[in-house]
Amino acid sequence: MTKLQNAQYAKDGQIKILREKYNQAQAELSLQKQQALKAIEQQTEEKTRREAELEQDMDRLRSQLKFKEHELNELHGMLMCVSFIKKVYENICSID
C-alpha cells in the first residue's frame, strides 16, 4: 500500500510541477503578447505621426511651388513686355 501511496504522491508532485510550469509559461506568453501588441501600437502611432508630418511638408512644398510658378509667370510676362518695348524702341530709332 505504501508503494502505491508513494507512487501516487510522486505523480501528484509531478502534476503539481507540470501545472506550475504550464502556468508560468502561460504568464510569460501573455506578457510577450502584451509587449508585442504595445510595440505594434507604438510603431503604428509613429507611422501615423510621420505620415502627418510628411503630409504637412507636402502641403508646404505645394504652396511654395504655386508661389514660384506665379512668380515665374509674372517674370515671363514682364520679359515679354520688355521685349515688346525694346522692339518698339528699336523700330522708332531705326525710323529716325
CA dist., res. 45 & res. 13, Å (int): 48
Nearest alpha carbon to residue 40 among 32, 28, 29: 32
Q: What is the pLDDT of residues 44-62, one digit of tens each?
A: 999 999 999 999 999 999 9
CA dist., res. 56 & res. 61, Å (int): 9
pTM: 0.58
Q: What is the pLDDT of residues 58-86, one digit of tens each?
A: 999 999 999 999 999 999 999 999 999 98
